[in-house]
Structure 1
Amino acid sequence: MSEEKYADYIQAVLKECPEADSAEVASAFAKYEDEFYIPPQDAMRSVLRRFKSGTGPTTSTASTRQSRETKKVALLSELSGDDRDIEIEVTIATHNIRDQLIRGEEKQIAFGFLEDNPWEENGTKTRWDYKDWGPHANLAAGSIVRIEGASVNEYNGKMSLNINQSTRIVVLKEGVATTVSTNDPIEIKSVPSEGYICVVGRVLASRPDQIHRKDGSGSIDVVRGRIADETGTIGFLSWEPFDHEVGSLLKIDGAQVRSFRDTPELNFGRTTRIEVFHDANFSDLETLSNSTSLTISQFRDGSRDVDAVIQITEWNKRSFTRDGEEKFLWSGQIADPSGRCRMSAWQELPIRSEDLPVTVRLKGVRIRAWQGIPDVTVDTADQVEILSAPPWDESIDLINHCVEIPLTEMVAGPSRVGIQTTGLVVSVRDDSGLILRCTECRRVLREGACADHGPNEGNEDVRLRLVVDHGGSTAAVLVNKEATLASLSMTIEALHASVSEHGKDGFVQRVREILLGRTIVASGRSIVDDQGAMLLSDKLEIPEKDSQLRATELRALWGWS
């Protein structure tokens, strides 16, 4: 019966894997459909990969199950994206049930968070999402269970656990989930990156939306919006009907926090309780709207419904072709006293290049990021309101303005453009000075070759690679050619002469004699990621200090008379 049902798909697999057994291929398709609810057209790639790699079963389904080895692990970190039939003991942190349409049939699916290392109260724990396709009746929040026969799912680098219909759940310890009391809401500024919370906030924005299923089976009607209190704002996504008007004050209990890129978002589901809240002292809509307007330094990747006042300093139009149709995109640079970034618009704005700079108010825009730098996306022209004057001092030249921030703040914060920071030089890297860059991609050549484009002559460039420190925070500083020559008070000819006279290592040593232990002021744009913080500097200054004044300061510091 299975072979007839999957005949077309079996034939496609046998074309690629002629040595595969048709019954085994049919069994593989049946397993994906029966246990994981994955239709054969979506399972095709996985089945092909399975038989191409030679991991397909060589005997009957029954004997395969007997010979299959269970992978027993103690920690989630021991698992990889292709692990199947695993056994692990975990704590079920949260457990929720929702109805989901699968192949035209509505089924109940359980989901939530689980944590490993359940028996060590103060031990390090790793938390994963899980989805229970059973769902299993003995799976409950707060309990410790042994899961036998689960599989790992990996999507966009994020790991989660699939608890299949055939998975066995053994309850090792009954428990009661820790919940947030409905009488104890938290402030929006204190919302964690994940978990279940209770908040009180006023609706700033609300609009219907749709989420399209990846398998093309249809779409889900949702409501997106934003709520606020006196401490901040946060976006929400409601999977259930949401009929509350903008300006309504609500108490929301049992909202799930999920993070999209760097931005937490509230999710409202069937178990979320939403009720109108009454508080005469709570700020009104206008006050919250004005107080929650963001600056560029507060933009975060993934934010939606963002309001801000910015100044457009550069604006261009470009065309591109999509699906044979010419389309247009407007983009440019924007700034405010806290920094600079880019902005793009999908509709033409009433802005002329001769009128720049132009101050505008943005309403409900989206924030994306490229290399960590925020990029504002304007979908419609009515999201932009032109203002007659900026709310800040008009004498500030935002095109060349640099925001002074401590190095500790730069290292701990997001990537930013147009900043200036101060630090003590603790290292000058050996690859400072003259370098050669690839003629194709501008990567630095190593032994005359580019990692991507191979050997080439390269284009000459100059740079400094430094490490600076301040208050225990460190960052790399990459100084461009112009700033390097200016900070060393050299011309390119003088630099060539110095390298010829002292050699490359000798030149770097002379730079160390100049910079090591000195305080520098560097300006440019920062890139902050999991590997650390780096400042791409287009200006470097070495402040001169009065030695006699410094000696007086040290004597006072150390208590010398």
Structure 2
Amino acid sequence: MSDDANMESAIKQVLASVPGANPEEIKIEFQRYQTDFLIPPSDAMRSVIRKFQSKTGSSTKTTSGQASTAPPMKKVQRLSELKADDKNIEIEVEISSHNVRTQKVRGEDKDIAFGFLEDNPNGEGDGKRMRWSFKDWGANLNIIPGVVVRIEGASVNEYQGQMSLNINQTSRVVVLKESSRTNVNPNEPMSLSDASNSDGDITVIGRVLAVQKDVIHRKDGSGTIDVVRGRLGDASGALSFLSWEAFDHEVGTLVKVEKAQVRRFKENPEMNIGRYTKVEVYHDAAFPETSELDKSTRITISNLRDGLRDVDLVVQLIDLTEREFTDSKGEERKIRSGELIDPTGRCRMTSWSELPFDKSDLPLCLSLQKVSVRAWQGIPDITINTADQVTILDETPWDEIDPSTHIIDVDFTELTSGPSRAGIATEATVISIKQDSGIIQRCPKCRKLLREGSCAEHGEVDGTKDFRIKLVLDNGISTASTIMNKAASEKFTSQDTAKMEKQIAENGSEAFVADLRQQWLGRRLRVEGRSVSDDQGAMLIIDDASGVEVDAVLAATEVRNEWGVA
């Protein structure tokens, strides 16, 4: 935008807040800031508005057009510090997404920018971020995805328990760090793979792979909302969608979706189709057919995440159990649980329906269609609701797998940054051994750790002894906490629980941990077990651990070569 256009836009914003001001005087004031202080109109906005409010005797106008007296500036570091009635806020945030939509404001069509922002842009403290939606009523040109800004004079909006931030016409927005993202035109179609990694408005072209009507219950209990869930596919992959409007397109239909929004459910991308979204039939003779997309959009066990829906995959069922229970209605029901494997790992399976086989038929290769994924003890668990989601295949599309030795080697960084997985092995260096390693007491009812002989759920109980070792592993890039179960701890220390208890009783737990540190700190370990990933990071549950011998001469040579040291 040219300097003249910027000046004109700034003058309009001042006039919107101070209708009685003289446009020429406003322009002169902005020019003074530019000439004398090298401050552009966008940064001088609040000062100029305040000057003309004082000059005309007017007060600040809110986005609703009502006059109000501005309260003292409230400076916060985190969004969690804000309350529903807070105004005149100062906070530093990163803009996650930015979109523009036309809507009615006091009877007039106006382009209003909206999107998501996140606090703690520098990752201070625990590194956690909170995300809120925002509306920008001031048409700030420096608010783009990826930019870090300080917002002065914002206010909180609360609707149905959801908090959001209003960037008002009088707010000042200062860029602290420029965006390094490549800005995408939301009107240009993108692949579903790229859309999955996007935030905000998108346009995509895809073939309908699944569609099903559903009902969402309102949080306040006031009723239900009819929605449509489904999945689109293209050559790059698949993307689930949730339509809040009528969706009358059948499986196999090629559609173009404009101005949809990508949101995340349990970190899984989902395309939201709302009243501003346009969905129409699209024609492209070269676009892959449904049969081709069904194969290309299948995922493997290693890609499973809690919350995924309409998942297609091919697996081998190696174990199956069945149990009966009484549901909340007093009816007797059966549930079937099993273990699945493929070349990338293993996971659990739960079926609420009678299956077309029994345990004596195992192992079986199965094609699972449109199943969902839920976490069980942090590990993905595939849920089968009806028998028609299961197809028995004649043979596996991979070489024979021995379930007893099926452990997948995974890079440590990939493991700590990816989803929860079972049946994995990885290597890293021991950088810490926790002081609470050793003999502990667990509740005999829930297995939770006892503190001073008391369970948080069952009160004072006679505890059951257990043996665990807690380590922190690091590979120079990533770090993860680990915990060894009893069997792994006994093997790792070459002592059973009884001997270890005697040793700790004689020498104390501090001596036990000091001995472990003397023996293992700085050494490389190979561990087997499962990883559990959540908002707190990754935790490795270790079933087996062993030291890895490192050739010191070879390692030194590799380091010199990597850093170019002779």
What TM-score comes out, normalization by structure 2 length?
0.70
Aligned residue in 1 for 2:19: none
Whether 1:362 and 2:362 are equivalent positions in the alignment is: no
Matches within 5 A, 1:388-427: 388-394=394-400, 396-398=401-403, 400-427=405-432
What residue identity is the alignment partner of 2:85? R
Displacement of 1:503 in angstroms is: 3.0
**Cα distance, 1:483 vs structure 2:** 1.2
Q: 2:518 aligns with which of 513, 518, 521?
A: 513
Matched residue, 1:353: 359
**Count of matched residue pairs:** 462
Residue of structure 1 aligned with 2:508, choices 503, 506, 511 = 503
Identity within the alignment, %? 41
Partner of 2:491: 486
- For 2:522 and 2:346, the matched residues in 1 are separated by 31
Matched, 1:84 2:88: no
Q: Which of residues 423, 434, 446 in structure 2 aligns to 1:441? A: 446
Say if 2:385 is the partner of 1:379. yes
- Equivalents in 2 of 1:346, 1:464: separation in Å? 37
Quote the Cα distance in structure 1 between the aligned partners of 2:436 and 2:538. 19
- When the two chains are superposed, the root-mean-square deviation of aligned CA atoms in Å is 4.0
Name the counterpart of 1:160.
163
8 Å CA contact 1:147–1:170 kept in 2: the answer is no
Q: Counterpart of 1:326? A: 332
Contact 2:352–2:386, Cα closer than 8 Å, also in 1: yes
Q: Residue type matched to 2:474 in 1? A: D
Cα contact 2:153–2:171 (8 A) shared by 1: no
* Equivalence map 1:130-141=2 (5 Å): none
Helix, strand or coil: the match of 1:528? strand
TM-superposed deviation, 1:387? 1.5
Question: What amino acid is aligned across from residue 442 of structure 2 in structure 1?
Answer: R
Q: 1:285 to 1:189 in 2, by over 3 A?
A: same
Distance 1:335 1:460 in 2: 33
The answer on whether the counterparts of 1:372 and 1:414 sit within 8 Å (CA) in structure 2 is no
User: Corresponding residue for 1:208?
Assistant: 213
Residues 270-295 of structure 1, C-alpha deviations (whole Å, 9 max, x = no match):
32223333444432221211011111
User: Would the aligned equivalents of 1:463 and 1:479 in 2 still touch at CA under 8 Å?
Assistant: yes
Distance in structure 1 (CA, Å) of the matches to 2:201 and 2:280: 17
* Aligned counterpart, 1:266: 271
Report the Cα offset of residue 535 of structure 1: 0.8
Match of 2:349 in 1: 343
- Aligned partners of 2:525 and 2:510: how far apart in 1? 22
Q: Secondary structure of 1:482's match?
A: helix
Separation (CA, whole Å) in 1 of partners of 2:227 and 2:472:
48
Measured after TM superposition, the shift of residue 198 of structure 1 is 1.4
Task: Give the equivalent residue in structure 1 for 2:481.
Answer: 476
Q: Distance in 1 between matches of 2:330 and 2:72?
A: 51
Q: Which moved more, 1:269-278 or 1:378-387?
A: 269-278
Change (3 A) 1:423 1:397: same
Letter of the structure 1 residue corresponding to residue 370 of structure 2: G
Task: Name the structure 2 match of 1:24.
Answer: none
Aligned to 1:129: 133
- Which residue in 2 is equivalent to 1:39? none
Unaligned runs of 5+ in 2: 1-66, 105-111, 120-127, 144-150, 174-182
| Equivalent position amino acid for 1:128 in 2 | W
How far did 1:146 drift? 9.3
Q: Which moved more, 1:223-232 or 1:180-189?
A: 180-189
CA distance 1:327–1:555, shift in 2 (3 Å)? closer
Using a 3 Å threshold, how does the CA distance of structure 1 residues 222 and 441 change in structure 2: closer, same or farther?
A: closer
Query: CA separation in 2, counterparts of 1:410 and 1:181?
Result: 33
Distance change >3 Å, CA 381–CA 72, structure 1 → 2: farther
Structure 2 CA distance for aligned equivalents of residues 256 and 371 of structure 1: 31
CA separation of 1:480/1:187 partners in 2, compared to 1, >3 Å: closer, same or farther?
Answer: same
Task: Kindly indicate whether the alpha-carbon contact (under 8 Å) linking 1:143 and 1:173 is maintained by their aligned counterparts in 2.
Answer: no
**Conservation of the 8 A alpha-carbon contact between 1:111 and 1:129:** no
Counterpart of 2:253 (choices 230, 234, 248) is 248
Q: Measure, in 2, the Cα distance between the counterparts of 1:131 and 1:113.
A: 7
Shift of 1:195: 0.6
Deviation at 1:458, TM superposition (A): 1.9
Contact 2:504 2:512 in 1 (8 A): yes
SS in 2 for 1:322: coil
Instruction: Give, in angstroms, the shift of residue 197 of structure 1.
Output: 0.8
Q: Is contact 2:98-2:113 (8 Å) kept?
A: no
Q: Secondary structure at the match of 2:248?
A: coil
Q: CA deviation at 1:453?
A: 4.3
Aligned partners of 2:523, 2:163: CA distance in 1, in Å?
49
Aligned: 1:221 with 2:223? no
How big is the shift at 1:75? 5.7
Report Cα offsets for 1:509-538 as digits up to 9, x if no partner. Answer: 222222222211111111122222211111
**TM-aligned CA deviation for residue 498 of structure 1:** 3.3
Distance 1:379 1:555 in 2: 56
For residues 341-360 of structure 1, the C-alpha deviation after alignment (integer angstroms, 9 at most, x for no partner) is: 22222211112122222221
Q: Which is further off, 322-331 or 415-424? A: 322-331
- Alpha-carbon distance in 2 for matches of 1:366, 1:297: 15
In 2, Cα distance between equivalents of 1:207 and 1:141: 40
Quick one: distance in 1 between partners of 2:465 and 2:160?
A: 43
Give SS of 2:508's match. helix
Shift of 1:255: 0.9
Compute the displacement of 1:68 (Å).
12
Q: Given that residues 424 and 518 in structure 1 are in contact (C-alpha distance below 8 angstroms), is that contact kept between their aligned partners in structure 2? A: yes
Comparing 81-90 with 234-243, greater Cα deviation is found at 81-90
CA distance in 2, matches of 1:555, 1:192: 39
Query: How far apart, in 2, do the equivalents of 1:498 and 1:461 lie?
Result: 15
SS in 1 for 2:291: helix
TM-score by length of 1: 0.71
Alignment check: 8 A CA contact 2:416 2:478 kept: yes
Partner SS for 1:297: helix
1:199 Cα shift? 1.5
Q: Deviation digits for residues 10-48 of structure 1, max 9, x if unmatched?
A: xxxxxxxxxxxxxxxxxxxxxxxxxxxxxxxxxxxxxxx
